[in-house]
Chain A
């Protein structure tokens, strides 16, 4: 199990490196906020922790995990698309 996870981790890191090297500096801010939104994937982990049906401290932590992951995810994606909409190609004589 561990070796599978490590393999995935290493391969995905290399893949990420290749992909992100190609992002032009023009889009570095949307890249950050977009990547940031993708890290909101912890919501998956948060859901797993908070949906166990338990009503102890772990469930409360889970609830807060869901809240913060969702802020990260929704806020990140919305602000990224807001930014990307602003990038327009020149239509003038320039």
Chain B
């Protein structure tokens, strides 16, 4: 009887997660969906406490209280600009938790493990640990605890392959000799190393793909732990999350016109770096703004242009997040709207460090979401646009993606700001963007550079407009 109650509760939980994800298809229903999912989670956990194998509640309670405190503290203190790090960290914790479940199961039932449960345990530990350490590295890169540029060395891919096969070997060995505890610990350590190795060669600009992928892994780890425990709700929810991450990684890859393999093993910066060095001659680096072709202007001059503009499109990038400029941007946009100018925001899928990063930042700054337009919907509007204001975005507006077959980003879909009557680019200096690729947009006759910190520049523009 209890078993049936538990199973039915799990079914209800699974349905609530499915509906929760379904309601995420519109911003109007999304909150309701998440509320429903929370209720489902609550039901699933309570039902689990009824399981006859759960006989002591002390540890569980202690764990839940500690976890809730830390979780709620993180969730309320975190800045919206730091959301990618937050998601990376939580992903990692999810992965670690699955790995720990695998480890606990291993120790508990080691004496009578057969190949099938041992395989599921091995799989859970492998995916869980890769998710954990990989997410920690992603976190460290995003939080700038370590440098965001790719860390590469000769033979890296080969070494990773060796690690992978050794892990696989240990895995196979354990399936048949589960009493070999040292092999199990070795598997854990190796999986952890593998997670680190997979993420260090990936640069900051590719983080959206990596975070999505790690998100997927954390789901798969949960699903794998469901295989160990023969638990349906774990399998269903884990695979839902797994597919969410896979879709997002695919979308992000598509938005960069690169394959997943290329992102993971291509070490993008390596290909681009030599090219950038050739292009940026030493004297140009020393006095960036002095390059003759570049037309630059002051925030005040920019404001004069804005006064006459009828249609303005704002193109935000990671630089806006770094400068924390989203609130200033919204104020500028409101001043423009008050003088009768039409303002919208063009959002490139890989702008920022995670999928949808720009949308969240602008929503935080109270920009109504109907002004946030996706790339495919807004690209036709640039020819009728008086001013495109590019804030801290670079590669996503680089015309070389269309015109230069030798460019590493050739074929990547971009926002066609170059078609608008005037492009205003806010940038600290002429330095190439993260990928180290020169941007000829900055040299175009219809481009005006406004150098300086994005936030203070925008504040100055707004002052001049008032």
| A contact set with B: CB distance below 8 Å | 1-2, 5, 8-10, 12-17, 19-54, 56-59, 61-94
Closest to A73 in B: B41
- In the assembled complex, the CB of A68 is this many whole angstroms from the nearest CB of chain B, namely 4
Kindly provide the distance from the CB of A4 to the nearest chain B CB, expressed in whole angstroms.
Answer: 8
Using known A-B contacts A48-B48, A65-B101, A70-B71, determine if residue A93 contacts B229 with beta carbons closer than 8 Å: no
Give the A-binding residues of B (Cβ under 8 A): 13, 17-18, 20-22, 24-28, 30-31, 33-35, 37-38, 41, 44-45, 48-49, 51, 53-57, 59-60, 62-64, 66-68, 70-72, 74-76, 78, 80, 83, 86-87, 90-91, 93-94, 96-98, 100-101, 103-108, 116, 211-212, 215, 218-219, 221-223, 225-248, 251, 337, 342-343, 347, 349, 354-357, 359-360, 363-364, 366, 368-372, 374
Provide the bound-state CA to CA distance between A45 and B245, in Å: 21
A interface SS class = helix
Main secondary structure of the interface of B (DSSP, over half): helix
Q: In the assembled complex, how far is the CB of residue A18 from the closest CB belonging to chain B, in whole angstroms? A: 9
Cα A77 to Cα B90 with chains together (Å): 11
A selection of 7 A-B contacts at a CB cut-off of 8 Å is: A25-B347, A26-B374, A40-B94, A43-B97, A44-B48, A47-B54, A48-B48
8 Å CB contact of B68 from A36, A70, A85 = A70
Q: Are B56 and A42 in contact (CB under 8 A)?
A: no
Minimum C-beta distance from B108 to chain A (A) = 4
Known: A17-B243, A45-B228, A47-B48. A89 touches B63 (CB 8 A): no
Separation of A92 and B460 alpha carbons in the complex (Å): 25
Q: Is the CB of A61 within 8 A of B107?
A: yes
Q: Which residue of chain A is the closest to B376 with respect to CB atoms? A: A25
- With A29-B355, A48-B51, A77-B38 in contact, is A66–B63 under 8 Å at CB? yes
Closest 9 CB pairs of A and B: A70-B67, A66-B63, A28-B356, A90-B368, A74-B71, A16-B243, A51-B54, A78-B75, A75-B71
Residue of B nearest to A50 (CB): B59
Point out which of B63, B72, B369 has the most chain A C-beta atoms below 10 A from its C-beta. Answer: B63
In the complex, which residues of chain B have a beta carbon less than 8 angstroms from the beta carbon of A76?
71, 75, 90
Kindly identify which residue among A9, A19, A47, A83 contacts B223, using a CB–CB cutoff of 8 Å: A9
Contact A69 B236 (CB under 8 A): no
| Alpha-carbon distance A75/B25, docked complex (angstroms) | 22
Report A-chain residues with C-beta under 8 Å of the C-beta of B355.
25, 28-29, 31-32
Residues of B within 8 A of A50 (CB): 59-60, 63, 104
User: Nearest residue in A to B73 (C-beta to C-beta)?
Assistant: A75
User: Which residues of A are found within 8 Å of B41, using beta-carbon distances?
Assistant: 37-38, 40-41, 43, 73, 77
| Chain B positions within 8 Å of A73 at CB level | 41, 67, 71
Q: Are A36 and B218 in contact (CB under 8 A)?
A: yes
Asked whether A30 and B240 contact (CB < 8 A) given A51-B54, A63-B59, the answer is no
Contact A20 B247 (CB under 8 A): yes
Q: Is the CB of A32 within 8 A of B215?
A: yes
Query: How long is the Cα–Cα vector from A66 to B230 in the complex, in angstroms?
Result: 18
Contact partner of A29 (CB less than 8 A), chosen from B35, B231, B337, B356, is B356
A72 adjacent to B93 (CB under 8 Å): yes
Q: Could you tell me the distance in whole angstroms from the C-beta of A34 to the nearest C-beta in chain B?
A: 6
> Nearest B residue to A31 by beta-carbon distance?
B24
In the complex, the answer to whether B37 meets A38 with C-beta atoms within 8 Å is yes
Are A36 and B90 neighbours in the complex by a CB distance under 8 Å? yes
Chain A residues, CB < 8 A from B70? 67, 71, 75
Q: Are B18 and A86 in contact (CB under 8 A)?
A: no
Pick from B21, B67, B108, B219: contact of A58, CB under 8 Å: B108
Closest to B357 in A: A29
Contact of B104 with A39 in the complex, beta carbons under 8 Å: no
With A29-B359, A51-B60 in contact, do A20 and B244 touch (Cβ < 8 Å)? yes
Cβ A67 vs Cβ B359 within 8 A:
no
- What is the distance, in angstroms, from B45's C-beta to the closest C-beta of chain A? 6
What residue of chain A has the Cβ atom nearest to residue B219's Cβ? A39
- A52 with B337: in contact, given A1-B230, A44-B48 (CB under 8 Å)? no
- Determine the distance from Cα of A12 to Cα of B233 in the docked complex, in whole angstroms: 10
Contact A84–B34 (Cβ < 8 Å): yes
Contact yes or no, A30 B18, CB < 8 A: no
In the bound complex, how far is the Cα of B24 from the Cα of A26, in angstroms?
A: 10
A32 engages B244 (CB within 8 Å) = yes
Q: Are B93 and A71 interface neighbours, CB within 8 A?
A: yes
